[in-house]
């Protein structure tokens, strides 16, 4: 039998499920908003560079 002496174990209590969800999704809204803004900027810039051409067919 192996016995460890002078060892202290420190365990963190488990987080409640809602706290775990908050930790995992932190910044999700910010990243989503940044992604939407980047896509919107690219779409507007692309639209300005190539004007729409009406085709007769």
Q: Report whether 15 contacts 23 (CB < 8 A).
A: yes
First to last CA, the chain: 88
Distance CA 29, CA 25 (A): 8
Number of residues assigned to the chain: 57
pLDDT tens string 3-41: 667 888 888 888 899 988 988 888 888 889 999 999 888
Between the CA of residue 57 and those of 7, 13, 53, 54, what are the distances in Å?
82, 69, 12, 9
Torsion 47-49-54-57 (CA) sign:
negative
User: Quick one: pLDDT at residue 35?
Assistant: 92
């Amino acid at each position: 039998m192996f016995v460890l002496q002078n060892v202290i174990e420190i365990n963190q209590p488990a987080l409640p499920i809602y706290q775990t969800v908050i930790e995992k999704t932190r910044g999700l809204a910010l990243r989503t908003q940044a992604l939407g803004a980047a896509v919107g900027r690219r779409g507007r810039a692309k639209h300005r560079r190539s004007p729409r051409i009406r085709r007769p067919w």
